[in-house]
Amino acid sequence: MPVTDTQVLDDTTTIIGKPYNVILFNDETHSMDEVIAQLIKATGCTAEKASRIMLEAHLTGRAVAWTGHRERAEHISSVLEEIRLGTKVEPV
C-alpha cells in the first residue's frame, strides 16, 4: 500500500501533509535568557529543552526549534519573531 501525505500514527494523532521545521538562527542582540523564555513561550517546551535549542543556535548558527505541521510551525515562528529573533520555516 503506497504512503500518502496523510498518515494516522495512533488512535489520537494524525499528521496531515509533510512536516516543517522552525529554524532558529543565532542572535547576538538578545540575552540567552530572553531567547530561552521566548522559546518556552512559542513552543511550550521545558526550560532544559529551550536551553539546548538556544545553545545549538549559538554555537552552530542555527537550530531546529520545533517540527510539525505547517500552520503550527508558522505560528511558532511568528511568536519567536515577536522579539525579532531570526527564524525560518522549511520543509523537513
Q: For residue 26, what pLDDT is reported? A: 97
- The answer to whether the Cα torsion of 33, 37, 43, 45 is positive or negative is positive
Per-residue pLDDT of the chain in tens (92 residues, 90 and over written 9): 344 444 443 444 455 689 999 999 999 999 999 999 999 999 999 999 999 999 999 999 999 999 999 999 999 999 999 999 999 999 99
Would you state the cell numbers that stand for residue 39, as one nine-digit string?
Answer: 522559546
d(CA 16, CA 11): 14
d(CA 14, CA 59): 34
CA atoms in the 13 A half-sphere facing the CB of 50: 17
The domain defined by 18-91 folds into Ribosomal Protein L30; Chain: A, (3.30.1390)
- Name the residue type at position 73: A
Q: For residue 17, what pLDDT is reported? A: 81
Count Cβ atoms below 10 Å from residue 14 Cβ, excluding itself: 11
Total-model pTM? 0.81
Report DSSP state, residue 46.
-
